Amino acid sequence: MSIAEIAGAFFLVVGMFFIGVAALGLLRFRDALQRMHASTKAGTLGSGLSVLGAVLILAEPGATAIGLVTVAFLLLTVPIAGHLLGRAAYMSGAELSDVNKRDELKGVLEREEQPLERRGGLEEQR
C-alpha cells in the first residue's frame, strides 16, 4: 500500500465520520436552523473529505480532475444553499427552539407570525 492510498483511506474514514455526525445532527436538533447548520457544515466537510479520499486512492488523472471539480462545486454551492434555506425557513415563520430566544433579525427581515403548519398549509389555500 502506498502513502497516497493510506491517506485516501484516512480521508474516507474521517469523511464518513463527519457525514454520520451530520445525520445525527438532523435527528437530534429541534428546529430547522439547527438541523440545517449541522447538515451544511458537517455534510460539506464529510463529502469533501470522502471525495478527496477517493481521488487519492484512484490516482488517475480523470478521477482527480472530476474529484477536485466536485469538491470545488460543494464548497461553492452548499453554504449558499444552506443560507438561502435558512433565510426561507426564518421568513416562513418556522418555529425556533428555546436556544434561539433572541431574534437578531427582528426588524431586518419580514417574518410570518405562525409556521405554515399552523396557518393551514397549502390545502386550505387552494
Sign of CA dihedral 35, 37, 43, 46: negative
Q: Which amino acid is at 58?
A: L
Bridge partners, residue 109, by sequence = 106
pLDDT tens digits, 11-64? 999 999 999 999 999 999 888 888 888 889 999 999 999 999 999 999 999 999
Q: Where are the domains of the chain?
A: 3-125
pTM for the whole thing? 0.79
pLDDT 10s digits, 86-111: 898 888 888 877 665 677 777 888 88
Q: Hey, what amino acid is at 39?
A: S
The CB density around residue 33, as the number of other CB atoms within 10 Å, is 20
Which residue's entry shows cell 471539480?
69
Q: Compute the distance between CA of residue 8 and CA of residue 4 in angstroms, rounded to an integer.
A: 6
